[in-house]
Amino acid sequence: MYFKYSYQSYFMFQLIDCLTWRIQNEIDNILAKPIIPAELYRAIRDSQLVGLSGYSKEGLPVIAVGVGLSTFDKASIHYYVQSHIQMNEYRDCVILPSASKRFGRYIGTCIKVLDMTGLKFSALNQIKLLSVISTIDDLNYPEKTETYFIVNAPYIFSACWKVVKPLLQERTRKKVQVLSGSGRDELLKIMDYESLPHFCRREGSGSSRHSRNGTVGDCFSFDHSFHQELYNYIKEQAALRKPAAPIKQGSFHVDFPEHGPEDVKIAETIESEFQRLGDQNRLSHSLHELKINGD
């Protein structure tokens, strides 16, 4: 009985904290805060690779994330956080209700396909931002992802995953599936070809920018229908809420939540593992150079 009460109390406090965060940061207004000018939003899309590629056979939205090739170097951290939260809110307010109506049943979660192509040691520079984004999701958008599929994983990811996996909560660990290569064959069991992220459509590291019908197939691109619809929706909401006020340029600042001890531990473990692998890589390169010069 005590355990049940404590379990319920935990989620009650978590809900209160989430509502407080939403009120204090005016999250309900964030879909009326466009990132302008459009060129800046395009630059963010080119450096924060994420998009909607389609739907699974069960109707779950398929969110593609280019982890390895995202650089997060075209704007301040506030713009990237703003863009991420806007996509979360658009998913919850527009995409999921639309999917529920389209497939005739309630749909409240999505599938995420994480592309590790291009993952390098320089990813250490992104750990702070990625930790902020993951903490926001954990605290304020929990249980929104059904499964995380990891594809095109290089050795550096495989090495880190072995270290990090035991540190994750069991409920999160169960959701992660590391697929072989591009994961195309496995993903085609749960989604049609047209819903495959572009980086999964060919075996290996290749990708297709255009789909079969000639439209933009790269769901990361600002020119993709998902981002065009999202951006137009935000501009329309801004016009409806403040029709007489000009839209001002500037990021929508959101308070970053403090990292929990588990998040800090995971981030530190990733950093130390990347450092170790980097040292090994440099040592191997130096030995190789010595061998060449010695010959």
| pLDDT tens, position by position, 132-175 | 898 899 889 989 999 999 999 998 888 778 777 777 778 888 99
DSSP lists the bridge partners of residue 54 as: 62
Say what the pLDDT of residue 102 is.
95
Say what the pLDDT of residue 90 is.
98
What's this model's pTM, rounded to 2 decimal places?
Answer: 0.82
Say what the pLDDT of residue 204 is.
45
Do residues 118 and 68 lie in contact, with contact meaning Cβ atoms separated by under 8 Å? yes
Distance from chain centroid for Cα 45 = 12
Do residues 62 and 191 lie in contact, with contact meaning Cβ atoms separated by under 8 Å? yes
Q: How confident is the model at residue 213 (pLDDT cuts 50, 70, 90)?
A: very low
pLDDT: is 293 or 10 the higher one?
A: 10
**Phi, psi of 91, deg, nearest 5:** -60, -50
Task: Tally Cβ neighbours within 10 Å of residue 53.
Answer: 26
Tell me how far apart the alpha carbons of residues 258 and 156 are, in angstroms, rounded to a whole number: 28
Tell me how far apart the alpha carbons of residues 106 and 100 are, in angstroms, rounded to a whole number: 5
| pLDDT tens, position by position, 91-106 | 999 999 999 999 999 9
Say what the pLDDT of residue 268 is.
66
3-state secondary structure 83-128: HHHHHHHHHHHHHHHHHHHHHCCCCCCEEEEEECCCCCHHHHHHHH
pLDDT: is 128 or 122 the higher one?
A: 128
Tell me the CA distances in angstroms from 151 to 26, 62, 114, 271, one per residue in order. 36, 14, 6, 21
Structural domains of the chain ordered from first start: 2-294 (3.40.525.10)
